[in-house]
Amino acid sequence: MSISIATWNINSVRLRIDLVTRFLEEHKPDILCLQETKCMNGQFPHGPFRKLGYDYHAINGQKGYHGVAILSRLPLQEEESLIFCEKPDARHGAALVTTPDGPLRIHNFYVPAGGDIPDVEANEKFAHKLGFLDEMRLWGQKEKQTQIPTVLVGDLNVAPLENDVWSHKQMLKIVSHTPMETERMLAAIQEGEWVDAMRHLIPEPEKVYTWWSYRAADWALANRGRRLDHIWVSPDLAPKLSDLTILREARGWERPSDHVPVMLRLSA
């Protein structure tokens, strides 16, 4: 059996519900994980997803900010939402997916963006981001002991490798690619024994981007992208990594998110 899992920072699920349904109709992942849904649980648009066969929902939202959601064709159990840095932001959601091959744990993260100034003294948002990454690393050390096949997805807001950004040298002092962030993320991957699925299937030095700024006059022409969206898997799933789709064209859809969907297929 194969199973497909997609992740997408949608930047308001209600505003861009037509884009989400278009993606689901055209690509049909078994599971879709959204970040920045930007609505409270009671305002989440369940109807369009159920109409397309996504009957199982694990939602963690808040008013106007953040928010994550797991939408699935397969049954979900053991839903949970973790709090990081003692802030009740809706930045994590998890569920156990019932598959014909056994249980699969899905973790959906939205890591703080960190503001524009890479200084913990001058920028509280950046300090929050580094603290979140530190706690995420410690959490991962414990999570690897669960012995359940696990997939971690989300907008992690860090481009950790040199070829995850359009210019390594010019980005070293830009939030999302500073050494303070990249070193923490690489430590989280190593200590949690995660396999970076995207780089497993598309090794360096090939450039890989999932985000293009709204500030660019012509995002496609400039192509100053970053790989901010990630899919990590536990080592037992590495042999099943079979196909990866980064839907770059979605950045050019009408009123798009600045992120594009990333879809991974696991094959038995």
Q: 48-90 pLDDT, tens per residue?
A: 999 999 999 999 999 999 999 999 999 999 999 999 999 999 9
Q: Given this model, what pLDDT does residue 268 score?
A: 78
Laid out side by side, the sheet with 241-246 consists of 56-60, 68-72, 31-35, 2-9, 262-267, 241-246
Domains within the chain, CATH numbers bracketed: 2-267 (3.60.10.10)
Residue type for position 220: A
pLDDT digits (tens, 9 = 90+) for 200-236: 999 999 999 999 999 999 999 999 999 999 999 999 9
* Residue 148: how many other CB atoms lie within 10 Å: 14
* Cβ(252)–Cβ(30) below 8 Å: no
Q: What is the dihedral of CA 84, 186, 157, 166, to 10 degrees?
A: 170
Q: 165 has which bridge partners?
A: 226
DSSP state letters, 204-229 = TTS---SB--TT-TTHHHH---B--E
Which residues, other chains included, contact 149 with Cβ-Cβ below 8 Å and sequence gap of 6+? Answer: 102, 103, 104, 105, 233, 234, 236, 237
**Number of helices and strands in the chain (H, E):** 7, 12
